Structures are given as C-alpha cells and as structure tokens.
Amino acid sequence: MKEEQYLFIRYLKSKGLKLTSARETVLTAFLKSEGHLSAEDLLAAAKKIDPGLGQATVFRTLKILADAGLAQDACQDEGPRRYEHVYKHSHHDHLICVGCGKLIEFCHPEIEKAQNEIFREFGFQASGHRLELRGLCADCAGKSGKTRE
C-alpha cells in the first residue's frame, strides 16, 4: 500500500468516515496523475476506472484529499480550481498564462531568499508562501502580437 493510501485511510478513520470503493477509485485516479487537475479532470480519470462514479463523489473526495494533506489548490483566481499533489512534493511557485491557461511550476532561489527576508523584516514566523505570476506565454504573446518587455 502506498504511503498516501495509508494516510488517506488513517484520515478517514480519524473523522469517522469509511473507505468506500468510490473514494478509493478517486484516490487511485488522483495518485496516478501528477499534473494540475480540475475536479472535472479527476472525474474523467476516475470514470475510466469506474464509469458509474458520480460528480458529487469526486468533489467531496477531493475536499477530503485536501483536508488530509494529500492535495492542495494549485491556483484558483480564474477558471476552474485546479489541484495538485502536496504530500512529499517539493515546494514550487507557478507561472500562469492568462491566454491559454498553461501552468508552469518553478522554484527560484532568489524568491525563496526574498520571502525569508520579508518574514524576518515584519517579524513573522514562516509557515510557507504561494506565488502565482500571471502573463502571456510565448505562444499566446506571439498570437496577440504583444512583445516582451
């Protein structure tokens, strides 16, 4: 059994919930994916395993996955909320194309250094940060005729 499956089962038990076959199907579909997926994406992947699976089950199970510390919002300002793996995955930030929705993960040491300096400057104890940079990817910028600054 994967560690994530064990943690999910342990979380369910701690909340008095059962591991149903539908929840297990959603968990399996989520663990097989490594990208940034919407609830609709997860539903499509889970339906490949169990065609009878309902949308409400996927939405509820996705919330449980997030509450259990296995998933988190990848970004959410515009369009459908997308989720990504969080358990044992390294910290990263996101570049998001406002044209096509392309999402790129990155980690930049200068950003990490700057955020730690900001925490210190304002007397905060760091617990993490989330950074999303928005703009047009090279393909969309080329299509719109916009040039780089």
The answer on 129 and 81 residing in a single domain is no
Query: H/E/C letters for each residue in 88-138?
Result: CCCCCEEEEECCCCCEEEECCHHHHHHHHHHHHHCCCCCCCCCCEEEECCH
pTM above 0.85? no
Domain range for 130 is 93-144
CATH no. for residue 31?
1.10.10.10
What does each of the 149 residues of the chain score in pLDDT, given as a tens digit?
588 889 999 999 999 999 999 999 999 998 888 777 888 989 999 999 999 999 999 999 988 998 998 887 776 556 667 777 666 656 777 788 888 878 787 888 898 888 889 999 999 998 777 778 888 999 998 886 655 45
The answer on 118 and 63 residing in a single domain is no
149 lies in some domain: no
The answer on 97 and 80 residing in a single domain is no
Count up the domains in the chain and report the number.
Answer: 2
